[in-house]
């Protein structure tokens, strides 16, 4: 049997870049401080006038298979939960050193200045435990956000991925094997990494 790997599968054709659905809902849910965020929204533009193309790309933790944040966390506070494949932070062990943030290829680690600990998307562990929908999933205006076990061929997200065929993309793999998937039919996927600039 395959190991469970929960991940977000985002249908970018449905994302209108409103910021309110995922980002604000996430901030409200997790009480993230002013100026901080667990997720970010990028505009991916390409082409020359008049042949222009643009799509929105919401980026949060990709729950990598070989998560560098978990490997390099000195105190073992950042770990990959074998139960659901989600990378989580044990706040009782986190010293806020920022090694994870420095080594995350997607800039998806957030530093909680008030508590001096790291903070990241854990696909709303608490809400999932209560059987509720994720904050971003529930509030997304276009219904673009889905989550589930991508290793289970019977799961909803696996069906979505199968249906999308070759229109499924993921963020650049630097050996960390990101689990997050993006479905993009309406535009050409850009390999650019705006979070690195």
Which residues of the shown chain bind another protein in the complex (CB under 8 A)? 31, 33-34, 71-77, 79-83, 92-97, 99, 103, 114-116
Q: Which is nearer to another protein, 64 or 73 (CB)?
A: 73
Buried b (16+ CB within 10 A) or exposed e, 32-43: beeeebbbbbbe
- The least distance separating another protein from the CB of residue 47, rounded to whole angstroms, comes to 38
Q: Which is nearer to another protein, 52 or 115 (CB)?
A: 115
- The least distance separating another protein from the CB of residue 115, rounded to whole angstroms, comes to 5
Q: Which is nearer to another protein, 80 or 120 (CB)?
A: 80
Distance CA 138, CA 172 (A): 27
Distance CA 193, CA 197 (A): 7
Distance CA 194, CA 197 (A): 5
- The least distance separating another protein from the CB of residue 58, rounded to whole angstroms, comes to 24
3 state SS of 51: strand
Q: Which is nearer to another protein, 46 or 125 (CB)?
A: 125
- The least distance separating another protein from the CB of residue 48, rounded to whole angstroms, comes to 40
Distance CA 10, CA 180 (A): 8
């Amino acid at each position: 049997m395959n190991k469970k790997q929960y991940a977000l599968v985002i249908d970018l054709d449905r994302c209108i870049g409103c910021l309110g659905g995922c980002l604000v809902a996430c901030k409200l849910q997790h009480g993230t401080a002013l100026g901080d965020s667990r997720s970010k929204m990028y505009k991916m533009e390409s082409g020359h006038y008049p042949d222009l193309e643009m799509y929105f790309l919401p980026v949060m933790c990709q729950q990598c298979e070989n998560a560098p944040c978990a490997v390099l966390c000195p105190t073992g506070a950042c770990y990959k939960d074998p139960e659901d494949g989600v990378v989580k932070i044990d706040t009782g062990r986190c010293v806020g050193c920022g090694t994870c943030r420095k080594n995350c290829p997607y800039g998806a680690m957030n530093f909680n200045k008030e508590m001096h600990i790291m903070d990241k998307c854990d696909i709303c562990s608490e809400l999932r435990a209560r059987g509720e929908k994720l904050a971003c999933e529930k509030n997304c205006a276009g219904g673009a956000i889905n989550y589930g076990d991508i290793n289970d061929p019977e799961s909803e997200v696996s069906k979505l991925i199968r249906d999308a065929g070759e229109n499924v993309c993921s963020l650049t793999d630097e050996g960390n094997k990101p689990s997050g998937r993006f479905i993009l039919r309406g535009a050409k996927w850009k390999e650019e990494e705006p979070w690195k600039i």
